[in-house]
Structure 1
Amino acid sequence: MTLQLFAHPFSSYCQKALIALYENDIAFEFRMLGPDAPDTFGELKAHWPIGKFPLLLDDGRPIVEASIIIEHLALHYPGPVRLIPDDPKAALQVRFWDRFFDNYIATPQQKFVIDALSPEGSRDPYGVERAGAMLDTAYAHLDRHMQGREWVAGETFSLADCAAAPQLFYADWTHPIGDRFPAVTAYRERLKARPSFARCIDEARPYRPLFPLGAPDRD
């Protein structure tokens, strides 16, 4: 079996899939996407016309969406780190928190980024304000939940933490968590220290100038 991951190291959703691959030391070929690799992006679109990434090719079969990629790896390439619990009730909690980070952290955070990339006359300050309010609400909910917890869904690192790591990493750059939500800040620090995500952070460092809001001099 040959695994190929079509991805970019600076993408939060690509990092989410990479964390799962690194956690269980799964061998794969990294297919770099970007302006210097138009043929690679064309190949991705041949498999997935929507053109979103990451995309995993498993022996030629395309698997799309980061969460589904991780589910696929758990089914077909299980390792010592069980990112999705066997117990259905515990797995449901993991999947809920996975959706929480994608929908209520990543989506409003991306509003800031998209607005910064938009032409001056097309910007949406009201939409950005609402996105900031959504992030504050999500931070507050997560802060209450993380009291006394190490990982977000159960006692072990899971799919939900794969989702949390890159989304909280970039969200704090965009709409700082700071001292307002200490449990979230502490959780973000634990995620940064996880070897699989620390590797993602280091691999993405050369691309920090791409961040349209300006990458902070930290992390």
Structure 2
Amino acid sequence: MKLYYNPLSTYSQKVLIAFYEKGLTFEPVVIDFKNKAVHQAYLKLYPLGKIPLLITEQSRSIPESSIIIEYLDMNYMTGATLLPRDMDMARQARLKDRMYDLYLNNPTVELLFEGQKPRDKQDPCKMTKARETLNIMYEKLNEAVSDHSWTNGEEFSIADCAAAPALFYAQRVHPFSRFPAIKAYFSRLMGRTSLQKVLGEAEPLVKSFLK
């Protein structure tokens, strides 16, 4: 398999966590969007230009982080089972995955990029809305992990793959220190070998970006 991604991208990190949780190997192709030639070449492969993108062993193109993870989990029985086999538990995992992408990850990324701008160029309305959304999600997430090890119960799932990168950045732009269950959950996430590997690979880019 070949994976087009960027180590700094939260959605790429989400898929990388899944790869490492399942113990699968792939050919990495890092897309640097600042490199015009690389970007243009990638657009020829995938005109929407989004990452990550998986090219399967059968040369099928699979975009979108959640769909990539579902493909890996359905086709490779090694390592962690990221989508529960119970249909109702699977539905809950998919719902949480979407919620964390849309309402935990995206507002966090909004705050990160607004924070990179000079103060007079920042959009206070966008930042306020992002913080309000995160506050709502922190309440929901704190409740979800208050009596469970992971967000969908006692088994690590696709939902945790989505939450982990978002929380890593969120702690810097909108801390969750007043939510004890999230703090404990994040500590468990940071103990996963998969996340440690993803963050280790991304560390030079993360440090440069956060400066």
**Contact between 1:32 and 1:40, CA under 8 Å: does it hold in 2?**
no
Amino acid at match of 1:90: M
**Offset at residue 36 of structure 1 (A):** 7.1
Amino acid at match of 1:96: L
CA distance in 1, matches of 2:18, 2:144: 23
Write out aligned runs for 1:67-106 (5 A): 67-106=66-105
**Contact between 2:138 and 2:179, CA under 8 Å: does it hold in 1?**
yes
CA distance in 2, matches of 1:161, 1:35: 27
**Offset at residue 123 of structure 1 (A):** 2.6
Amino acid at match of 2:54: L
Tell me the C-alpha RMSD between the 2 structures.
1.8
Give aligned pairs, total. Answer: 210
Amino acid at match of 1:89: D
Q: Secondary structure, in 3 states, of the residue corresponding to 2:80? A: coil
In structure 1, stretches of 5+ residues that fail to align are 215-219
Quick one: structure 1 residues 56 and 40, their matched pair in 2 at CA, closer, same or farther if it must change by over 3 Å?
farther
**Offset at residue 154 of structure 1 (A):** 2.2
In structure 2, stretches of 5+ residues that fail to align are none
**Offset at residue 113 of structure 1 (A):** 2.2
Q: Secondary structure, in 3 states, of the residue corresponding to 1:188? A: helix
Amino acid at match of 1:53: I
Q: Secondary structure, in 3 states, of the residue corresponding to 2:2? A: strand
Identity of aligned residues (%): 38
**Offset at residue 89 of structure 1 (A):** 0.5
Write out aligned runs for 1:149-164 (5 A): 149-164=148-163
Name the structure 1 match of 2:29: 31
CA distance in 2, matches of 1:23, 1:35: 27
Quick one: structure 1 residues 120 and 80, their matched pair in 2 at CA, closer, same or farther if it must change by over 3 Å?
closer
**Contact between 1:6 and 1:53, CA under 8 Å: does it hold in 2?**
yes
Q: Which digits, 9 at most, give the CA deviation of each residue in 1:76-99, with x for residues without a partner?
A: 222131100111101001101101
TM-score, normalising length from structure 1?
0.89
**Contact between 2:144 and 2:152, CA under 8 Å: does it hold in 1?**
no
**Offset at residue 115 of structure 1 (A):** 1.8
Amino acid at match of 1:200: V
Amino acid at match of 1:142: L
CA distance in 2, matches of 1:64, 1:97: 19
